[in-house]
Amino acid sequence: MLRRFAQRGVGGAFRRLGRTRLFIFLAVMGPGLITAASDNDAGGVTTWSVAGSKYGYSLLWVLLLITPILAVTQEMGARMGAVTGKGLAALIRERFSMKLTAFAMLAMLIANFGTSVAEFSGVTAAFGLAGVPAWAAMPPVAFGVWLLVARGNFRRVQSVFLFLTAVYLLYVVSGFLAHPDWKSAGIHTVVPSAQLNTAWLITVIAAIGTTITPWGQFFIQAYVVDKHISVKKYAYTRLEVFIGAVFTDAIDLFIVVACAATLFTHGIAVNTAQDAARALGPLAGKLASLLFGIGLLNVSILGACILPLATAYAFCEAFGLEASLDDSFSEAPAFHGLLGFFILAPAVVAIIPHLPLVKVILLSQDVNGILLPIILIFVLVIINDRRIMGDYVNNRTYNWVAWGFSVVLIALSVFLVISALPLPWFK
C-alpha cells in the first residue's frame, strides 16, 4: 500500500512538474515562433515561389543548410536580450562608436523600407487574386495594421501574431495537394547542386536574405526584452527559437515543392507569388490555389505588422529613446512616429501604378542578404564579450557556425558583383 502510494505521489509530482514546465513554455512563447515565421513574409513567399518554379526541387538543399544557421543566429539574439535586458541596437551603440551605430541604422532603414513595401505589395497581390483593386484594399488593411500595432497592448498584439503564425499551415496543405515527387525532393534536399550564373546567385542570396534577416536579429532581441524574459526562464525561449527555425523552413519547403511539382514540371516560370497562386489552380486544383492566396495575404499582413515594429524598436534603442508597445504616444513619440511612417509610406508606395514590385521585392531581399553579415559581425563581437555576457558567451560550435556563415555570405555577395561583369565564365 505504501509503495503504491509513493509511486502515485512520484507520478503525480512528475505530472505537476510537466504541467508547470508547459505553462512556463506557453507563457514565454512568442519571440522564437513569431520572429522565425515572419521571415516567411511576402518577399519570402515570392522568393521561394520563384525558386520552385524556375529551379524545381534543386534549391531545397539551401533550406537544409540554413535551418540550423537560422536557429543559431536567432538564439544568439534572444540570449543577448535575456542576459542584458537590452536590444541589439542599444548594445551596438554601447560597444561601438556612434558613427558605426548610425551607419547600421541607416542601412537597416533603407532595407526595411524596401521590405515593408514588399509586405504591402503582397497584400495588394493577394486581394488582386479576388479582383479587388489595390486602391480599395490598401486603406482598410493599412488602418487595421496601424490600429493593431500602435493602439494595442503587448499581450493583444502577440495573440494576433501567434494566430497569424498558425495560418502558415495552409501552405502545408497546398503542398500536399500539388502531389509532389517526394523522392526527388528528398534527394535534392541532401544533395547540393549549383549553377554558375548571375540569376542563380541572385536567387540564392535572396533566399538566404529572406529567411535569415537583419531586421529579424533586431526584432527577436527587442521582443525578448519587451516581454521581460529573464535568464531563469530563457531555456524555454531557447527551445522555442529552435522550434521556430524548423517550423519556418518546413513552410518554405512546402512552398517550393508545391511550385516545383506544378509550375516547374509544366515549364511555367513565375515572377510573383500571385502568379504562382493563379497558376496552381488548373494544375493542382482550385483549393490549392485558394490556400496559396490566403497564405500570401496572411504572411503579408504579419510582415506589414512586424517590419515597422522591428524598425521602431531598433532605431529608438540605438539612440536611447523610449520603445515599448505598452507606452503611449506621449511616452514614446519617436517609437510611435516611426511605426506610423513605416506603415503609411510603404502602403502608399505599394499602390503606385506600374511599380516594378518584383524588382523591389527581390532587391530588398538581396540588400538584406548583403547587410546580414555586417549585423552578424556586430552580434558576434558583442556576444563573445564577457564584460557584457558574463558566462553566457558563445561556445566554440556557435562561433564556428556563425562566423563561417558570415564569411560565406560575404563571399557570395562578392561573387554576385563579379558575376555581373562581362566575363566568359558567366552566362
Overall average pLDDT of the 35-58 stretch:
83
Overall average pLDDT of the 405-427 stretch:
64
> In the structure grid, which three cell numbers stand for residue 378, read together?
556586430
Residue 131 φ/ψ region, left for φ over 0, alpha for ψ in the -120 to 50 degree band, beta for the rest: left
Closest CA to 73 of 388, 410, 401, 408: 401
Contacts 24+ apart (CB under 8 A), 324-333: 324/154, 324/226, 325/149, 325/152, 325/153, 325/154, 325/157, 325/226, 326/153, 326/154, 326/226
Torsion of CA 65, 67, 69, 75, to 10 degrees: -170
**Structural domains in the chain, sorted by start:** 27-419 (1.20.1740.10)
Contact assessment for residue 372 and residue 365, using Cβ atoms and an 8 Å cutoff: no
Overall average pLDDT of the 132-156 stretch:
83
For residue 349, pLDDT beyond 80: yes
With 0-12 / 13-18 / 19 or more C-beta atoms within 10 angstroms meaning exposed / middle / buried, residue 249 is buried
Overall average pLDDT of the 63-75 stretch:
89
The confidence band for 40, taking pLDDT boundaries of 50, 70 and 90, is confident
* Predicted confidence (pLDDT) per residue in 382-400, tens digit: 999 999 999 999 888 888 8
Residue spans of beta strands (DSSP E) within 282-420: none
The percent of residues above 90 in pLDDT, for the chain, comes to 13
In the block, residue with C-alpha cell 519587451: 226
* Confidence at residue 7, expressed as pLDDT on a 0 to 100 scale: 46
* Confidence at residue 58, expressed as pLDDT on a 0 to 100 scale: 92
Task: Please say whether the dihedral angle defined by the alpha carbons of residues 49, 53, 57 and 62, taken in this order, is positive or negative.
Answer: negative
Contact assessment for residue 62 and residue 189, using Cβ atoms and an 8 Å cutoff: no
CA 121 and chain centroid, separation: 17
Q: What CA–CA distance (Å, rounded) separates 67 from 385?
A: 26
Lowest-pLDDT choice from 189-193, 207-211, 331-335, 341-345: 207-211
Torsion of CA 29, 189, 218, 306, to 10 degrees: -70
Contact assessment for residue 119 and residue 304, using Cβ atoms and an 8 Å cutoff: yes
**What is the separation, in whole angstroms, between the first and last Cα of the chain?**
81
Closest CA to 24 of 167, 195, 220, 234: 234
Contact assessment for residue 126 and residue 46, using Cβ atoms and an 8 Å cutoff: no
**H or E element, residue 145:** helix 134-151
* Confidence at residue 26, expressed as pLDDT on a 0 to 100 scale: 45
AA identity, residue 366: D
Q: Mind giving me the DSSP string for 72-130?
A: HHHHHHHHHHHHHSS-HHHHHHHHS-HHHHHHHHHHHHHHHHHHHHHHHHHHHHHHHHT
Q: What CA–CA distance (Å, rounded) separates 325 from 152?
A: 8
* Predicted confidence (pLDDT) per residue in 164-219, tens digit: 888 888 888 888 888 889 999 999 999 988 887 777 877 887 788 778 888 888 88
Q: Mind giving me the DSSP string for 228-267?
A: T--STTHHHHHHHHHHHHHHHHHHHHHHHHHHIIIIITTT
